[in-house]
Structure 1
Amino acid sequence: MSSSFLNAVKNRRSYYALSSEPVASDERIEEIVAEALRHVPSSFNSQGARVLVLLGEHHLRLWDLTKAELKKIVPPENFAGTEAKIDGSFRSGYGSILYFEDTAVVEGLQRSFPLYRDNFPVWSSQSSGMLQFAIWTALELEGFGATLQHYNPVIDEAVRQNWGVPETWKLLAQMPFGKPAGQPGEKEIQPLAGRLKLFR
């Protein structure tokens, strides 16, 4: 069991070449996300994570909106490269998962436990990172490839308007996923000396 889990951790990679060909059913994708949401830990079991799963036209619209927002701020001479990256790496996939944290949950904890006030935003981010990793690894096991992107806060308002996202949901990351259409790049792993210390 431990070996299988560590193999899954090792095999999770960033896939930038994606296709929209189905790998698993939409119901299976929803099940993976739902199970991760249920079981990934959060401080004080606060469960402040929120997720949008965008498939089909919703997935395409996300990346079209992203390009539209970026076009407002990227110099014209650089936009062609930006558009090619989005179309070839993110929009070309099967779907996208958007990760949020509900700030109302964080603020409620801060009021209830003022001694830990400054820690709750940090713990919230840590919990979101665990959720992102859990879903990413589970998608990899299912046969999908994915990457983690951060076009927030550039796209925050467009996302809010298009999918009726509550004001208290703070967008943290976007995860386009799809069938791998190429191999991930080489991963350089730094020596563990100086990174890992064992005392006994």
Structure 2
Amino acid sequence: MRGHLAPSRLRATISAGLIRSTTPTIFRTATIATHRPSTKTTINPYVTFTSNIHTTTSKMSSTQISANAVLDLIKNRRTYYPLSKDLGSLTVERINEIVKEALQHVPSSFNSQSNRVVVLFGAEHDKLWDITSATLKAIVPEDAWASTEGRMAMFKGAAGTILFFEDETVVKGMQEKFALYADRFPGWATQSDAMLQHTLWVALEAEGLGANLQHYSPLIDAKVAETWSVPESWKLNAQLVFGGKTGDAGEKAFGAVEEKFKTFGSA
């Protein structure tokens, strides 16, 4: 394994327990407890622990991770269709913890923290795709419905969905407070939301799940807000569908990096 040190040099204790924290007001979860708990502790094979780890008597304060380890995680993130309801050894609680940690630590302009998230599992996840299906059936031509219906069934067959929102009250507040940048804050909020989407997609992939990102806004916004009591100021941006992988990801083509990259100067 690249960069992996012998056990004798691993000077950190990794706890199998989850990080204990209070659910913030910017995170909501609708949980159907149908998945078995796990007592296993899995060490991510892509994370390199080094001997240069600062610890205290009570907790690990920092861990150095190589850039290659991070890039490997990013490279491994792919789009998977279809997905199953099998979460393997992962529990609902563990997935919620991952989402909350990412939500707290993904950067935002001026530390505005405009990102909001709702996570749906089990019957609540199924309900989302029933809502989406009913919404689309009313507007999709009858001769094109079979294909759309198949996609809806595919998404419903997954284990859960993460809904990504921006709180427009926060954005408007930042526009008023920093009027010089007022026209920039909506774009900055969207950029922060995109970082959160990518972070969670990579994190779920690292835990062995597959995912695909969907965008059915604004068609389903009103019904989503009504069904899960979402505040009116929360603007829905995207839906990350996740679950067990049922096959391989498709081939991914890349354009020449020389056409997309420039560098200037030297150290």
TM-score normalized with structure 2 length: 0.74
Is residue 158 of structure 1 aligned with residue 255 of structure 2? no
- Distance between the aligned counterparts of 2:232 and 2:185, measured in 1? 19
The one-letter code sitting in structure 2 at the alignment partner of 1:72 is: A
Runs of 4+ that moved beyond 2 A: none
- 1:75 — aligned with what? 141
- 2:237 — aligned with what? 172
Q: Secondary structure at the match of 2:79?
A: coil
- Distance between the aligned counterparts of 1:50 and 1:64, measured in 2? 23
- 1:140 — aligned with what? 205
- Distance between the aligned counterparts of 1:108 and 1:154, measured in 2? 26
- Distance between the aligned counterparts of 1:171 and 1:17, measured in 2? 23
| 1:40-80 Cα distance to aligned partner (Å, 9 max, x none) | 00001011100000001000000000000001110111111
Q: Secondary structure at the match of 1:147?
A: strand
| Residue of 175, 188, 192 corresponding to 1:127 | 192
CA RMSD of aligned residues (A): 0.7
Identity within the alignment, % = 51
Is residue 46 of structure 1 aligned with residue 112 of structure 2? yes
| Distance apart, 1:179 and its partner CA | 0.5
| Distance apart, 1:181 and its partner CA | 0.4
| 1:155-181 Cα distance to aligned partner (Å, 9 max, x none) | 001101100011000000001100010
| 1:92-114 Cα distance to aligned partner (Å, 9 max, x none) | 11100000000000000000011
- Distance between the aligned counterparts of 2:128 and 2:247, measured in 1? 23
Given that residues 87 and 209 in structure 2 are in contact (C-alpha distance below 8 angstroms), is that contact kept between their aligned partners in structure 1?
no
- Which is bigger in relative contact order (C-alpha 8 A, separation at least 6)? 1
Q: Secondary structure at the match of 1:78?
A: helix
- Distance between the aligned counterparts of 2:171 and 2:125, measured in 1? 28
Given that residues 87 and 244 in structure 2 are in contact (C-alpha distance below 8 angstroms), is that contact kept between their aligned partners in structure 1?
yes
- Distance between the aligned counterparts of 1:142 and 1:185, measured in 2? 20
Q: Which runs of 5+ in 1 are unaligned?
A: none
| Residue of 6, 23, 27 corresponding to 2:93 | 27
What count of residue pairs does the alignment treat as equivalent? Answer: 199
Larger radius of gyration: 2
- Distance between the aligned counterparts of 2:162 and 2:91, measured in 1? 15
Is residue 4 of structure 1 aligned with residue 69 of structure 2? yes
Q: Which runs of 5+ in 2 are unaligned?
A: 1-65
TM-score normalized with structure 1 length: 0.98
- Distance between the aligned counterparts of 1:22 and 1:97, measured in 2? 15
- Distance between the aligned counterparts of 2:179 and 2:234, measured in 1? 22
| Distance apart, 1:198 and its partner CA | 1.2
- 1:56 — aligned with what? 122
Point out the structure with the larger helix share. Answer: 1
